[in-house]
Structures are given as structure tokens and as C-alpha cells.
Amino acid sequence: MARWWAHLLGAVRVRVRGDMPERLLNLCLDAGIPLWDVVHQGDYVFAWLPVRDLLRLRGLARRARCRVRVTGRQGLPFLWRRVRRRRLGIAAAVAVLVALQVFGSFVWFFEVRGEEQLSEAEILEAAAAAGLRPGAWRPGLDRDAVAREMILRVPALAWVGLEFVGTRVIITVAERTLPPEETPTGPGDLVAERAGIIEDILVFRGEAAVAPGDTVVPGQLLIRGEITAPGPVDAFPAPGEDPPPAQRRPVAARGRVLARTWYEGYLEVPLVERLPVRTGHRVEQRRLFVAGREIVVSGPRRIPFGRYEPQRLERPLPPWAGEAAAFRLVTVIFHEIEETELARTPAEALQEARRRLEARLLGGLAVDAHIESVRVDAAEARDSFVSMRMIIEVVEDIGRFKPNDYEESPGESPPSALLRGPREMP
Amino acid sequence: MPVPARRPAWRKRLADFLDLPRDVVLDLPRISVIGDLQLQLQNHRGLVEYLPERVVIAMRDGRLIVRGEELVIAGVNPEELIVTGRIHAVEFRR
């Protein structure tokens, strides 16, 4: 008897009460109704039977003068009835699944990676113009077409990659290095940033006011922001006739003025230096910042170190509150400090001095500056320290733009620089 | 199920001769008892009495009385009848 099968197809447990329950059992036997787990308990007999035979059992019970009551149900038909009763719940579940599927196929979130010059807003704007905006239907998007269109729209983009992660799209961009945009400035001169000796002068626009070999002082005019333009000509001047006077026109001077400049520095390095060094021991304090006061929440109240270096870390509470949150969680890490004596030989000290001086003097140089020579002038080794003077000779562009308004007027004489004759290029 | 009135002697002899199981040939009940836990009876004629301590089953030539405690009729259909519980005694009655 495959009882589990009967249970699956639907079975009921009945409670039989009567003088002769055996009679009912025999009637069931004759009718071919299978029974199982027939238990006699007190005045009742309980039995399981297939649900499809329940009606027939009731008829037989009347004949056997027994009263039958159903006390248990099991199986898929009953389950199905329960499920059908909860049709609304099932509909809701299906609706949720459908909604998930539908909303999951739209793009809602954006992430931009790799932008350097461009802002995220600019990239998102370009994406929106190419069809990739919040709420865009993902299957309707052609990834390559969107990327292509974005590159066409924004000249600074060299490459665009789109990666869809669920409802999120990650836009990875690579930017093109664009030629530096010429900032529109008014007319002006190029003047000397530092004192130096002119090595070479290359005029892009304007007229040179100095020549190689000249010594210039800071602020001295290097390239004049004014050009001489030929005067308006109606007809080619006849022989013997003077050409129309040249006109002076203000421009923004541009050019490269390479000059030899000097940087000088002096430094003393003690032979024995005391340096604060972290020992590695540290204690951590957590404090709660409330109403201008900090209350130590956890960690030691007294710092067990003689010398220490505090390191503060502030976090607003709750985390999304701004910097000026009323409550802040402050973590202070106290690092124990120990003074270490660093002893150097005179040679080492000189080396250190040279290193520090070079760092100090060369730190502010432009990348295209050329270091001509490094001269260490006075390196003295004394008892307790060494001293060093360093002079670095550099060839660099010393031009600095300085706005200057020239009056547009017919010029009488060409500027002096033009009279100097051809320059010699070094 | 047709019930023969008497047991013809030739059937018994045939069963002996062919070495056939007698319950098949002679329409006798077949009883298997598993420990004192379960009694399985094939070829029964219905239930006469059912109490937790006594189950009386009708057979062709009499009754089978199963005595025990907490007896349960684990299954009953026209072919077989299974009694489980703690069986103390199985008795044939003419």
C-alpha cells in the first residue's frame, strides 16, 4: 500500500462513533475502500482513508449506524484549496516578481570612473544626450552606439566604456589630452619674473625688447605687446611716393625668454641631530564630542607616555551628518615619541646638507628648466656642525605676462629692438 | 470471491504433488508475523471485532484472534489486513 501516495492525493482522518465500528470496517472492505492506521481510542475509532471515498464512507456509516466526523486532512487537494483561497497573496507575489523584472531592466544608477579634467556632471550630461539617462530601458540601448555618440559629443573623451551591473551603469572614460586652450587675455607685455642674463629669446607675438646677453632685473620688459602693422593701402605706392605710415597695434605678447638665473641657499646641519621617532607603542582613545566638550568614552584617560604625538580622526554622528555635526566620534591615537640621536660623520652631514639644499632650491623650478651647474661654495666641517652654501645656475623661461594697454596709434618710429639687427641664435 | 463449500481432497493432493503454496491452491489465509510488532494477514474475510487489546478477524474456516496491547489496524483492504502493536498471542478458532 503506497500510503504516502494516498496522502499526497488527499486523505482524511475520520472519527467513528458507534456500537459496532467493525461493521463499518467490513462494509468498507466490501466496498473496496482502503483504510489505514485504524486506532481504537476510548469510545472512538479513528481511521485514515482516501478523500475520494469519503462520501461513500458516509453512506456506509449510515447503514452501520455509526457517526463519522472528519478530524484531519492531508494532501495536495487541500493544499491547493488553501492556495486558491489566498489568490490575492499569490497575485501580489507575481506582481512583485514582474515589477522586479521590469524595474531591473531599467538603468537607474550611474557611476563615472576615470574622469580627470571633465566633471561627472559633464559626462552624465553627454550620456543623457546619447540616450543613457536614468530610466532608460536597457535592452533598448546599443552600448557601442551610446559610447560612440558620447565620444563625438565631448571632444575631450578618447574612449568610453559602459558596463551594466544590474540597474547600475559604470561609465569608464579615458580623456584625450587636448592642446592647452589659449586663455583670451587682453593686450599685455612679457616681463621678467627673475633677474638673469638673457640666453635666447623666441617671440611668438609682439616685439622683442631685449636681446641675448642682456642683463635683466625683475619686472623688466622682455617682449612688448605691440606690433607694427602696415598702414592701410588703397593702391600700391608709386615710385618716389612714401608708403603709408605703419600703425601700432596692441597684442598679447607671447614667447619664450630663456635666461640664465641663479638660486642660492645656505644650510647648517648639526653632526648630532635629535629626531623624534615613534616607538610603536600607542594607545587609542575614543571620545564623544558633545556641545563643545569631548568625553572620553573608551580607552585610558591618562596617557601613559612621557612624550607623545596625537593623531585625531573625527567622524560625525550619524555618519551622513556634515562636518559641523552636533555629535562627533573622535578617535585619538597617541603615539609614543622617543628622541633618537642621529650622529653623522662630517662627510655624511655634508651629503645630507647637499640633499636638503637641492631639494629646497630646485623644488620650485618649472619642469622645463635646465640646470646648468650646481656649485657648492663653502662647505665647512666644524666641531658640531657643517655648513654649506650652494649656488645653482639654471636656464629657464623667465617670461611673465603683464597686462598693458597700448593706445592704438600710428607709430612714428619702429621700436628699438628692431634696430638691433639680426640676432644670433646660440 | 467465490467460496467453495468444502475443501476437495484432490486439490490438496494436487498441491502436494506439484509442491505449490497451499494458500494459493486451497484458498487459505496466509499470516506473517514480524516479531511481536506486526501481523500481516492475506486472504481474510473481514473484521469481527476490534478493540485495542483484541482483534478478531474472520477467515474462511473460522476466526483468527490477535491478542495484545494498543493494537492498531495499520491497513485494511480486501486483499490483506495489517495489525500493529504489541502482539501477545495469535489464536485460531473454528
- Contact criterion met (CB below 8 Å) for A251 and A205: yes
- Contact criterion met (CB below 8 Å) for A397 and A198: no
Q: Is residue B23 part of a domain?
A: no
Within an 8 Å CB–CB cutoff, is residue A38 touching chain B? yes
Pick left, alpha or beta for residue B85 (phi over 0 → left; psi -120 to 50 → alpha; otherwise beta).
left
Residue B60: CATH number of its domain: 2.60.40.2000
3-state secondary structure of A296: strand
Query: What pLDDT does residue A235 have?
Result: 63
Nearest CB to B50 within list A30, A34, A45 = A45
Cell of residue A392, nine digits:
645653482
Within an 8 Å CB–CB cutoff, is residue B73 touching chain A? yes
- Contact criterion met (CB below 8 Å) for A187 and A389: no
Question: Inter-chain contact B75–A1, Cβ cutoff 8 Å?
Answer: yes
CB atoms near residue B81 (< 10 Å): 29
Comparing CA positions, the residue from A2, A52, A5, A4 lying closest to residue A32 is: A52
Please report where in the chains the cell 486451497 appears, as a residue.
B26
Q: Is residue B8 part of a domain?
A: no
* For B1, nearest residue in chain A (alpha carbons): A30
Going from the C-alpha of B11 to that of each of A16, A343, B17, B94, the distances in angstroms are 42, 124, 10, 21
Q: Is residue B11 part of a domain?
A: no
Tell me the C-alpha distance between A187 and B94, whole Å: 136
Q: Which of B57, B71, B72 to mutate to test the interface with A (most CBs of A within 10 A)?
A: B72
- Contact criterion met (CB below 8 Å) for A45 and A16: yes
Question: Inter-chain contact B52–A45, Cβ cutoff 8 Å?
Answer: no
Q: Which of A5, A24, A33, A39 to mutate to test the interface with B (most CBs of B within 10 A)?
A: A39
CA quadruple B65, B66, B72, B76: dihedral sign: negative
HSE (side-chain half, CA atoms, 13 Å) at A423: 17
Going from the C-alpha of B24 to that of each of A313, B21, B81, the distances in angstroms are 94, 6, 17
pLDDT in tens, chain A (426 residues): 457 888 888 899 999 998 888 888 888 888 888 888 999 888 899 999 999 899 999 999 998 888 999 998 888 888 888 888 888 888 889 999 999 888 888 888 888 888 888 888 888 888 888 888 888 888 888 888 888 898 888 888 888 888 888 888 889 988 887 766 666 677 888 899 889 999 999 999 888 889 899 999 998 999 988 888 776 666 666 677 676 677 788 888 889 999 999 998 898 888 888 888 888 888 888 888 887 788 888 888 888 888 888 888 888 877 777 666 778 888 889 999 888 888 888 888 888 888 888 888 888 788 788 888 888 877 777 778 888 888 999 999 998 888 876 665 544 444 444 444 444 444
* For B53, nearest residue in chain A (alpha carbons): A40
CA A255, chain centre distance (Å): 38
Query: What pLDDT does residue A300 have?
Result: 83
Tell me the C-alpha distance between B77 and B43, whole Å: 10
Query: What pLDDT does residue A202 have?
Result: 92
Query: What pLDDT does residue A422 have?
Result: 43
Query: What pLDDT does residue B53 have?
Result: 92
* For B55, nearest residue in chain A (alpha carbons): A22
**Cα of A9 to nearest chain B Cα, Å:** 17
- Contact criterion met (CB below 8 Å) for A270 and A384: yes
Question: Inter-chain contact A26–B50, Cβ cutoff 8 Å?
Answer: no
Q: Is residue B5 part of a domain?
A: no
Question: Inter-chain contact B75–A32, Cβ cutoff 8 Å?
Answer: no
Q: Is residue B22 part of a domain?
A: no
Chain B residues closer than 8 Å to A45 by CB: 50
Chain B residues closer than 8 Å to A25 by CB: 46-47, 50, 73, 76
Task: Report whether pLDDT(B24) > 70.
Answer: no
Tell me the C-alpha distance between A143 and A163, whole Å: 9
Comparing CA positions, the residue from B5, B44, B65 lying closest to residue A25 is: B44
Please report where in the chains the cell 617671440 appears, as a residue.
A203
Query: Which one of A223-237, A298-312, B2-16, B27-41 scores highest in mean pLDDT?
Result: B27-41
Report DSSP state, residue A219: T
Query: What pLDDT does residue A416 have?
Result: 42
Chain A residues closer than 8 Å to B75 by CB: 1, 3, 34-37
- Contact criterion met (CB below 8 Å) for A46 and A16: yes
- Contact criterion met (CB below 8 Å) for A111 and A123: no
Question: Inter-chain contact A38–B74, Cβ cutoff 8 Å?
Answer: yes
Tell me the C-alpha distance between B60 and B1, whole Å: 11
Q: Which of B40, B43, B50, B51 to mutate to test the interface with A (most CBs of A within 10 A)?
A: B50
Nearest CB to B76 within list A38, A40, A41 = A38
Residue B48: give the domain boundaries.
28-93
Domains in chain B, number: 1
Query: What pLDDT does residue A14 have?
Result: 93
